[in-house]
Structure 1
Amino acid sequence: MRITLLGTGDAIGTPKVGCDCENCRAMIAAGRSRLRTSLLVETEGRHILIDSSPDLRQQLLRACSPHIDAVLWSHGHYDHFIGFGEFYRVQKVPPAYAAPPVMDYCSGYLHFLPFEKHPVPVYEPFDLFGVTFTFFEVNHPPVYTCGLLIEHDGVTVAYTADTREDIPKRSRDLLENTDIDLLFVDAIAPEGYSITKHMNYAEAVRFARGVGARDYRCVHMSHLVPPGMPHAGYDMETFCWE
């Protein structure tokens, strides 16, 4: 299994349009950016997209234009699903999988686009191309949001999606009782910032350590997060397990 971070930014992305802050200038000078957060899971020639960001066209071009076989949505915020429309006239629109409230919202918005819809109950594992996925509830008020467990051939990866640190007990118990090899964790701002529906960097680190993840990468980072933070994920960073 291979997982690529197609994007690691928040809804705004970095550099932020019109921003002259030190962090944005540093990213521009280095020729780097943070596109909106999305993950690409590859196994046995199949490609599964987790969240379809508004930057999807650019992300797929960077990834050498893989054919996407399925899409999973964490929640119905535009930076996590609206790029699904980019499949139009590019390939057969892939089937989508999400928790029922997420599927209802996203498919309603995308009513103009015919595609297979697969509502999946939370906490119930399901298989796609030999990879086992499990949606679990997180805490991203006021929008119903799910994280994901991704399991393949003895490797377990978790993705918190957008969330506060205080996720539901059932989800916390699930993560703490799972041997997590790698965690992708929401870290929208540096330590000291209080964001009501996201974790800051310090909270993300505490969360990762609290659930016992062997390794972790921060994602969904805003332009407020300085480049070079330990455990920060970067666009097109790839993780392989043979």
Structure 2
Amino acid sequence: MRLTLLGTGDAVGTPKIGCNCPTCADAREGGKSQRLRFSILVESDQGKILIDTSPDLRQQFLRQRLSGIDGVIWTHGHYDHYAGFGEFYRVQNRVDVYGVRETLDYIDQYVSFLKPRYHHVKLYDPFELIGLRFTLFKVYHPPVETPAGVIISDADTVKVVVTGDTSSNIPEKSLELMKDPDLLIADAIVPPHIHIKKHMNSEEAMALAQKLNAKEVVLTHLSHLFRPHNIESMFLPLGYDGQVFEF
């Protein structure tokens, strides 16, 4: 199993338009503070799956030299997690997409012209793609009705947990399922001194990693409010665009 963080930014990305803070300045100069919007590429020897389709998907495909994938999993219906699906236009037809019914029904209003093949998934029910097992679990990301995180496992030997967009108020049923991951990819949109109702800050994300007994954690969905990457990454396991994890 191989995972690539295609985009590690929040909804506006870094640099933020019109911002001249040190982090945005570093991003403009080509540093690791430069963050496209959120997408993850999951690969096995049987294929490729995207978790969410960033508005920056075209750029991400070009960077990774991708020409097609075997399916998409959508975690929820926020713009920065699905809007790039339109980049499949004239590239790949009839893409298989997976998610809970509420999410797929909402996104269909915007992407129906691409005629994706919808596969409705129930929370907590595993399903298999490209030789890997995926499970969606409920998180808390108001006002989204049914936001989901994703568990990826490889023959019960490797377990990767992607929290998706969430606050720390994750249901107990989900927490139980998330325990003991080899890798936790955690939403951590802001530094510890800032609190946002629908996202975790970095302190809350690190506390979750400890609670779950995660062997490794990487923080993603990061805003420009962190210090430049080369500084902040000395203290926190910040993800960066193009970062790869292999198992």
Tell me if structure 2 keeps the 8 A contact 1:188–1:198: yes
- Aligned partner of 1:100 in structure 2 is 101
Aligned identity (percent) is: 48
Moved more, 212-221 or 64-73: 64-73
Following superposition, which runs of at least 4 residues in structure 1 exceed 4 angstroms of deviation?
Answer: none
Shift of 1:225: 1.4
CA shift at 1:152, angstroms?
1.0
Aligned to 1:206: 207
In the alignment of these two chains, the number of paired residues is 239
Q: In the aligned structure 2, how far is the partner of 1:170 from the partner of 1:93?
A: 34
Partner of 2:13: 13
Work out whether residues 167 and 200 of structure 2, in 8 Å CA contact, stay in contact via their aligned partners in 1. Answer: yes
Residue in 2 that maps onto 1:23: 23
Q: 1:100-142: per-residue Cα shift (whole Å, max 9, x none)?
A: 1111111222222211000100000000021100000000001
| 1-structure distance, mates of 2:165, 2:205 | 11
Name the structure 2 match of 1:54.
55
Counterpart position of 1:162: 165
1:90 to partner: Cα distance: 1.0
- Coordinate RMSD, CA, aligned: 1.2
The equivalent of 2:244 in structure 1 is: 238
Do the aligned partners of 1:47 and 1:66 also contact (CA within 8 Å) in 2? no
Cα distance in 2 between the residues matched to 1:19 and 1:88: 32
Letter in 2 for 1:165: S
Partner of 1:151: 153
Q: Note if contact 1:131-1:152 (Cα within 8 Å) is conserved in structure 2.
A: yes
Unaligned runs of 5+ in 1: none
Supply the AA of the counterpart residue of 1:181. Answer: D
TM-score (norm 1): 0.95
TM-score (normalizing by structure 2): 0.94
Q: How does 1:73-152 map to 2 (within 5 A)?
A: 73-143=74-144, 144-152=146-154
Instruction: Give the 3-state SS of the residue equivalent to 1:35 in structure 2.
Output: coil
CA apart distance, 1:30: 4.1
Unaligned runs of 5+ in 2: none
**Aligned AA for 2:152?**
I
Task: Indicate conservation of the 8 Å contact 2:67/2:91, yes or no.
Answer: no
Name the stretch that deviates more: 116-125 or 220-229.
Answer: 220-229
The Cα offsets for residues 120-176 of structure 1, whole Å up to 9 and x where unpaired, read as: 000000000211000000000011210000011411100001000011111112113
Contact 1:87-1:93 within 8 A present in 2 as well = no
